[in-house]
Structure 1
């Protein structure tokens, strides 16, 4: 079965880069332009991995989206990767405490993104 990846980022350029990077992999890619839409999409499509931009405008940012997804038993197996320009140790710890499984700092290398997605899918695979 093809894994589903939800990309939630308000910047079209970042979504395009992620899609371009992952399109050669055996993945179904979905995009949301803000956290609220990302939450709605996650509830209906049940992705395997969610790539969440931390800093997005609106009522909900990526960190709040991460917390909302983590609070739902429906998303217990969802692997969350925070995409962020925030590179400090405290920021990384905040993301992990909110329920993220990994943090990828912008700008990131396409190879690192592919490696991280594969790692997350391996770690979420049923035993």
Structure 2
């Protein structure tokens, strides 16, 4: 099975993130793949502020699918830009919102999130 590259991933994301499709298309035409993910993170933060957590749950599944099928660069961007943004989203959520959202994070993304945070904790402790 062929892995999904940045171009195919951009088309997939534009299709599944309709509210910001125009922005994704613009960033894609400029080959700004990281910018696409920053736009998605910003969109997620907006959805959190508007209390639209159901939409986030659905879109997390899209991202999980893309992570499973993406090439190394696609997976790196998802890990280092998208999943890392969960810490900031957690700060913006109420406790109830975070519990709901955390329950809807697909297992593959949740494992990355937990690994990033455990490593962050270890790194922080070593500097104290």
TM surpasses 0.5: no
Q: Which structure has greater helix proportion?
A: 2
| Larger Cα-atom Rg | 2
| Normalised-by-shorter TM-score class | 0.3 to 0.5
The two structures have a TM-score, normalised by structure 1, of: 0.32
The two structures have a TM-score, normalised by structure 2, of: 0.32
